[in-house]
Amino acid sequence: MRNSLFWRILAVGLLPLLVLYFYFNASDSVSFIHEHIPFVLLVVAILIGASYLINRTYSQPINHLTQHLDEPQDLTNFFFRTKLLPAEIQRLYKRVLDDLDLKYREQENTQSEKAIFSSILSSMTDGILVVDENNDVTLINQAAGSIFNVTKESALNHSLVEVIRHFKMNELLEKTRESGTPQIDSFETTPEKYYIRCIATPLKEQMPGSILFLMQDLTRIRQLEIIRRDFVSNVSHELRTPLTSLKLITETLQDGMLDDPQQAEKFLDRMSGEIDNLSQMVEELLELSRIESGRVPLEKRWVKPQELLGAACERMTLQAERAGLTCSTNFPPDLPSIFVDKSRLESVLVNLLHNAIKFTRPGGSIELSAYQNLNTIVFSVKDTGIGILPKDLARVFERFYKSDRSRSESGTGLGLSIARHLVEAHGGKIWAESQVNQGSTFSFSIPIK
C-alpha cells in the first residue's frame, strides 16, 4: 500500500508544508497551526482529495488493464466508454490494444496454418513420420499409422525402434544419420503385407537432428507388375503349345508324310485345329482388352431372364447330349425384365455352360436357373462335375488361370475372365461355389433397373 500511487501523490503534496514547517521557527509554525486550524485542515483535506482523485484517474484504468489483459474486447469497450482518460493512459491502452490485436491475428493465422497442415497430413495417401535427434517420434500421420498398424497416441514421444518394429526402418535411420544425405529403401511390412518404398531425409536447417520419413505404398503397383509378368508368362506358355505342335506337324509332313495321303490329311486336320486355337486365343485377348478398356458399347434393351436361359440352353444342348449329359432350366414364371445387352449376357451363360460340359463326366447333369434376390436377378449354372479345389476357387476368374492343366489344355483360360468383366460392365457380380467330386455352381447377379 505504501508504494501505491495515492500515497506518493499525498507525500508530494505534503512535502511543501513540511518544508515550511521546518523553515520557520517550529514554535511559530505550531502557533500558526493552532490559530488557523480550520484552514490547515482544509488544505490537508484538499491534498488528500486531490491525491485520491489523481490516484483513481490513473490507477483504476491501469488495474482494469492488468485484470483484463486476456479480454481485448472488454478493454476496447472500457477504452471507448470511459471519458476523460489521461493522455498517458490513452496512449498505453492504444498500444496494448494494438499489440493484442496483432497477437491474436498471428495466433489465428498460426492456428489456420496448423489446421491446413494437419488436414493435408491426414488426407495424404503417403505416410509421413518425423523423429528427433533422440530418435523419438515427433510426428506421424494417419497413412503411416495404417501402414505399420500403430496409433498416433502410441507412437508420439516413443523411440522409432519401439513404434515400428522393422529392421529395415532402423537400418535406414542409421544410414541417414551416418551419411547425412537422403536414403531410399524398399521392403514389405508384416503382417499387413504392404510393399513400401521409404525415403529418409535429414531436416538440417529446419529441424537440426530430425529425420523425415516419407513412405509410399507401392503394393498395388507391385501387384500390377506381378500380373504383367504372369500375363506375359501365360501368353508365352499358351502360344508355345500350339506353335510347337504346328512345328512338329510341319516337320513330319516335310519328312515324307505327304506321300501318305491318309496320314497327311490327319496331320493337316490337326494343324487346322491348332490354328483355330491360336485364332480363338487372339480373338479372346482382343475382346478382353476391349472390354477392360471400356471400348465395347453395351446395346442394352429390356429382356426377360427366361429368354436368356432358353437361348443359352438351346445353343449348348447338342454339345451336352454328345457328352452324355442332360441340360435343364429352372426359373419362376414371374421374373421381372432386366435392362441388359442380350448377346453379351447370353455369351456369359454359354461360356459357363461350356465349362460345365467340359468338366462333367458322362451321365451327369447341368441346370440353368434364375431367381430374384432383392433388387437383382441371380443366374446360376450348376453341374455335377469334378469340382474345383478350394485353393483354386478364388482364382478361376483370373486370365489364363487353369485349375487343372492336364484336363483343360483345350481352353485358353480367358473365358471366365471375359465373363467377369461383362457381368461387372452391367453393374453385377460373379462368383463360384464348388465341392470336389460333387460339382460346381457359377452364379452372377444383374441389377433390376
- What amino acid is encoded at 175 in this protein? K
Asked if 109 contacts 103 with a C-beta cutoff of 8 angstroms, the reply is: no
End residue of a domain, out of 193, 221, 249: 221
Query: Is there a single domain that holds both residue 200 and residue 125?
Result: yes
Query: Is there a single domain that holds both residue 417 and residue 435?
Result: yes
- Complete DSSP assignment for 170-222: HHHHHHHHHH-S-EEEEEE-TTT--EEEEEEEEETTTSTTEEEEEEEE-HHHH
Query: Is there a single domain that holds both residue 252 and residue 355?
Result: no
Query: Is there a single domain that holds both residue 303 and residue 314?
Result: yes
Q: Is residue 217 part of a domain?
A: yes
Query: Is there a single domain that holds both residue 139 and residue 90?
Result: no
Q: What is the mean pLDDT of each run of 10 residues along the chain (449 residues)?
A: 52 59 54 63 69 66 71 70 65 78 80 75 84 91 87 89 88 91 88 86 84 89 79 75 82 78 82 79 76 78 93 90 91 92 91 91 93 93 91 80 52 79 92 91 92
Q: Is residue 130 part of a domain?
A: yes
Cell numbers describing residue 433? 461355389
In terms of residue numbers, what domain contains 135? 120-221
Q: Crossing angle for the helix pair 219-254 and 261-292, nearest 10 degrees? A: 160
pLDDT in tens, 19-43: 555 555 555 555 655 666 676 667 6
Q: Is residue 40 part of a domain?
A: yes
Give the residue from 126, 410, 363 showing the smallest Cα distance to 245. Answer: 410
Query: Is there a single domain that holds both residue 75 and residue 140?
Result: no
Q: Is residue 108 part of a domain?
A: no
For 124-182, where are the alpha helices, taking DSSP H only? 142-148, 152-155, 160-163, 167-179
pLDDT computed for residue 222 by the predictor: 84
Burial of 353 (0-12, 13-18, 19+ CB in 10 A): buried
pLDDT computed for residue 30 by the predictor: 58
End residue of a domain, out of 173, 198, 221: 221
Rg (CA), the chain: 46
d(CA 163, CA 144): 11
Q: Is residue 113 part of a domain?
A: no
Q: Is residue 112 part of a domain?
A: no
In this structure, what CATH number is given to the domain that contains residue 241?
Answer: 1.10.287.130
Q: Please give the angle made by the CA atoms of 370, 284 and 414, to the nearest 5 degrees.
A: 60
Give the residue from 138, 141, 118 showing the smallest Cα distance to 130. Answer: 138
Query: Is there a single domain that holds both residue 336 and residue 418?
Result: yes
d(CA 421, CA 415): 10
Q: Is residue 109 part of a domain?
A: no
In this structure, what CATH number is given to the domain that contains residue 215?
Answer: 3.30.450.20
Asked if 212 contacts 200 with a C-beta cutoff of 8 angstroms, the reply is: yes
pLDDT computed for residue 281 by the predictor: 75
Residue 20 region, left (φ>0) first, then alpha (ψ -120 to 50), else beta? Answer: alpha
- What amino acid is encoded at 146 in this protein? S
In this structure, what CATH number is given to the domain that contains residue 347?
Answer: 3.30.565.10
Q: How far is the CA of 303 from the CAs of 297, 334, 339, 394, in angstroms?
A: 17, 13, 6, 30
pLDDT computed for residue 211 by the predictor: 92
Which residues contact residue 31 at a Cβ distance below 8 angstroms, ignoring those fewer than 6 apart? none
Query: Is there a single domain that holds both residue 423 and residue 319?
Result: yes
End residue of a domain, out of 292, 308, 340: 292
Which residues contact residue 387 at a Cβ distance below 8 angstroms, ignoring those fewer than 6 apart? 434, 435, 436, 437, 438, 439, 440
Q: Is residue 236 part of a domain?
A: yes
pLDDT in tens, 390-406: 888 878 888 766 665 43
Give the residue from 38, 53, 47 showing the smallest Cα distance to 12. Answer: 47
Query: Is there a single domain that holds both residue 216 and residue 228?
Result: no
Query: Is there a single domain that holds both residue 18 and residue 45?
Result: yes
pLDDT in tens, 156-172: 999 998 888 888 888 99
Q: What share of the chain is helix, strand, coil (3-state, %, to 5)?
A: 60, 15, 25
d(CA 23, CA 113): 71
Query: Is there a single domain that holds both residue 146 and residue 11?
Result: no
d(CA 243, CA 183): 48
**Where are the extended beta strands (E) located within 233-390?**
301-303, 326-330, 338-340, 365-373, 376-383
Query: Is there a single domain that holds both residue 91 and residue 40?
Result: yes
Q: How many domains are contained in the chain?
A: 4
Asked if 214 contacts 199 with a C-beta cutoff of 8 angstroms, the reply is: yes
pLDDT computed for residue 98 by the predictor: 80
Which residues contact residue 404 at a Cβ distance below 8 angstroms, ignoring those fewer than 6 apart? none
pLDDT computed for residue 408 by the predictor: 46
Which residues contact residue 355 at a Cβ distance below 8 angstroms, ignoring those fewer than 6 apart? 411, 415, 416, 442
